[in-house]
Structure 1
């Protein structure tokens, strides 16, 4: 094996009970999987084609786990009995093709960690709202006194928690990329919020492939399990046709009355399960906006399926504070509200953000455009947006999409410039909304960096 400076050889490999495992990607999920695999007696090798963040490197060194960065040593990787890959690595990556040619199983960190826990699993997926719903569900369960972990696309890795904690249940945010590499894993409660076009480059630009990926959350479920879904979402309903579901179904809707599940009646969320009945005014919810009624319904059904007390559920749904970078209030200056929704990296997320606004908006849009179709935003932009501030290297498609809908579209090239420009375009009572509808990699490290720079810029105004 190559021993250049990019490889850290901490200890000679120990042939564990399970043989050799290769882990591709040394981010949160990969490093957590490495720790669990080592704990289970595997000979672990971690390989990242990019640079590994210093704190992850320190963890791997501290545990004596061999790793490499900025390369893939094929002789090491192809000697593994199994490969655990980061959700961010596409199947078309050359190393993945070689692994599959050798018929070495490729799985996700979630699949691997699921083998070593008998905790109850609540899995939540959807194109939009999954982080909010996962966080809200965890908050409700924790408030009710359950011994519950939070993992998946959020927080500490599931594998690391399985290795170090003893939770009775987990709430997991599951992306389609994670679900793609899950085979035997089973959720006791599966939540599918919605399906809208996203990441289609990973699915041969075929919507049906992406839909199939989302429905993997229900695979392996039995009659004792639960499937919660949105009865108002056309792609979900279309996707259910021709598929069979063993689990008990609990739909939710704001358009029609649901016998067993959740619906909206006279501005009240109503949840009915065979054992339980719950009602709460939408005006009391901490999360406002139509999309958040759906998110609250999904979390509420989980709570009632688990037979949590109504007063606990009501209190939790009234006091929950949303996660950072998702419709996060940054403060008010001169009567102008500033909201950080940097996590809105697709058009749908921005649509949801605009839909929840109750004042005139100066909208900060832009970044790396994933082939966005801005058509769905046009009506809301006409109704609510007085000016658009572009934040990206190439803003032409935003200009083309909205030049007939707003009077002012301005280009900026930093978070500070965008915040300042938006502040000058807004007047008392308006909202400055950073909801970019695009990825952040042209000007920022990631959406968190974009959101943090925006928040810092607002504080400087």
Structure 2
């Protein structure tokens, strides 16, 4: 019997283990750290053997195949040894796709992919399609393939998940944008990160669709290097080039081979330029899947958004608090600041991923009343921003950050948590960071 080793015991790894067992493989899960109790309980329920707090190297290297959780890089010593030994190392996506014939709608991008994936899922589900949501969001894709029987999957794919996908093919691939992110994972080499993102179009044929931003300078250059993609559909904020979806006289126009769709911009549930792009990309995908105009219009107008992404928390004494904890890179913060219509007290900081803050410098100068730095080490933030705004403050807990921002803000201002950074210096993840922000705002 073929032996499959799962490296990593989070949602992705446990889901992969459940699917591998269901398909008759000899399965073992190994995690270098401690497993959460809920995942240990699931593995026990399925009688899947596992180890935690360390890998047994000889056991791992006896695998027929290794399914690697996305957080583990290919340069990790044990993964490197497996690759040198000729053991195939796959992503969860690559493995799970073997066992489903469902259509794949796949979304990646440095920013906007969670919102876009969630919006497309909302559109398809509201239209009555039998659809699952997975990848970098929600329940493991592999777990759903093991336990469900969907006709469509909407998958949010990070660059980490794309790295170890080889035969996987997206029926509809959406690449929203590429801006610097996760450069600490890619040896601070932007091209390596770009190459990972461009794998979204891997293996596509003319029968498939590739949707991307018409004006993205990186994608426009990189697409010419690809041997093939699906049929190309682009979006922009105005009619330009080959764009089939754009803003025209305060209406969104979407033109696909079998349909022309028009909707007033002010009826869109999502606000801001970044969300215009997300709505346009989602609209193209929906029309390619023959969603009716009425269903699409309804879904674009009643979508409630994504938690931790420009989420309005509360208004306290005339000060609006917005949770944008999911903004873990500089470009995402740029879009958040760009959408602000008031003066801002900006909370930023955390684990720097090779950030270049020049992108938000002018917006900070124009819109920020004060900056509150939240992190273990704020030296890089001070080096860049000191002297560019009137007030900067250091904090090392969310409670202090919220209180200090509240004190610095004036009536009519917005306190915006849009950190530009990963959360792992002070928090479990960006959700924990956002939830703590909401908790302390509501205690003001």
Q: What's 1:391 paired with?
A: 374
Matches within 5 A, 1:238-317: 238-257=221-240, 261-317=244-300
Match of 1:337 in 2: 320
Q: Is the 8 A contact 1:148 1:169 kept in 2?
A: yes
Per-residue CA deviations over 1:247-298 (Å, capped at 9, x if unaligned) read 2111111143355621121122110001101112222211111111111110
The question of 1:440 aligning with 2:409 is answered no
Q: TM-score, normalised by structure 2?
A: 0.98
Q: Is the 8 A contact 1:229 1:298 kept in 2?
A: yes
Query: Conserved in 1, the CA contact under 8 Å of 2:182 and 2:354?
Result: no
Map Cα deviations across residues 100-132 of structure 1 (whole Å, 9 max, x no partner): 121000000010000000000000001111011
Matched with 2:400 is 417
What is the rounded CA distance, in whole Å, between the counterparts of 1:339 and 1:154 in structure 2? 21
The aligned residue for residue 164 of structure 2 is 181
Aligned ranges 1:337-376 → 2 under 5 Å:
337-376=320-359
Query: Does residue 64 in structure 1 map to residue 51 in structure 2?
Result: no
Q: Residues 111-154 of structure 1: CA distance to partner in whole angstroms, max 9, x if unpaired?
A: 00000000000000011110111011101111111111000000
Match status 1:220 vs 2:225:
no
Q: Is the 8 A contact 1:31 1:60 kept in 2?
A: yes
SS at match of 1:202: coil
Relative to 1, partners in 2 of residues 1:331 and 1:214: Cα closer, same or farther, differing over 3 Å? Answer: same
Name which of 220, 235, 248 aligns with 1:237: 220
Instruction: Name structure 2 gaps, 5 residues minimum.
Output: none
Q: Distance in 2 between matches of 1:263 and 1:330?
A: 31
Q: Which whole-Å CA distance do the structure 1 matches of 2:173 and 2:59 have between them?
A: 37
Specify the alignment match of 1:135 in structure 2: 118
User: Per-residue displacement from partner, 1:29-54 (whole Å, max 9, x unpaired)?
Assistant: 00000000000000000000011111
Alignment CA distance shift 1:246-1:345 (3 Å): closer
For residue 404 of structure 1, report the CA deviation from its aligned partner: 2.5
Change in 2 beyond 3 A, CA 1:201/1:421: closer
- Alignment RMSD: 1.2
Moved more, 400-409 or 37-46: 400-409
SS of equivalent to 1:358: coil
1:323-342 Cα deviation digits (max 9, x unpaired): 11111111111111111111
Q: CA deviation at 1:91?
A: 1.3
In 1, Cα distance between the equivalents of 2:300 and 2:362?
A: 30
Mapped to 2, the partners of 1:99 and 1:74 lie a distance apart of: 10
Give the unaligned 5+ runs of structure 1.
Answer: 1-14
| Counterparts in 2 of 1:133 and 1:98: CA distance versus 1, 3 Å | same
Q: Secondary structure at the match of 1:99?
A: helix
Q: Which residue of 2 aligns with 1:105?
A: 88
1:9-158 alignment runs, 5 A limit: 15=1, 19-158=2-141
- Tell me by how many angstroms 1:200 deviates: 2.1
Deviation digits for residues 178-230 of structure 1, max 9, x if unmatched? 11100001110000000111112332332222222111111111221111011
Which residue is equivalent to 2:360?
Answer: 377
- Counting matched residue pairs gives 444
State the 1:414 CA deviation.
1.0
3-state DSSP class of the match of 2:95?
helix
Flag the 1:399–1:205 CA change in 2: closer, same or farther, 3 A: closer
Q: How does 1:185-224 map to 2 (within 5 A)?
A: 185-224=168-207
Query: Is the contact made by 1:252 and 1:262 (CA closer than 8 Å) also made in structure 2?
Result: yes
Measured at CA, do residues 303 and 240 of structure 1 come closer, stay the same or move farther in structure 2, by a change above 3 Å? same
Q: For residues 89 and 154 of structure 1, what CA distance do their matches in structure 2 show?
A: 17
The 3 A distance-change label for structure 1 pair 47 and 213 is: same
Deviation digits for residues 404-430 of structure 1, max 9, x if unmatched?
221010111111111111111112211
**Equivalent pair of 2:214/2:242 in contact (CA under 8 Å):** no
What TM-score, normalized to structure 1?
0.94
Secondary structure, counterpart of 1:440 in structure 2: coil
Task: State the alpha-carbon separation in 1 of the partners of residues 426 and 161 from structure 2.
Answer: 27
State the shift of 1:398 in Å.
Answer: 1.5
Residues 259 and 272 in structure 1, CA contact (< 8 A), matched pair in contact too: no
- Select between 237-246 and 177-186 the one with higher mean Cα deviation: 237-246
My pick for the range that moved more, 197-206 or 279-288, is 197-206
CA apart distance, 1:309 = 1.0
Counterpart pick for 2:386 among 403, 407, 412: 403
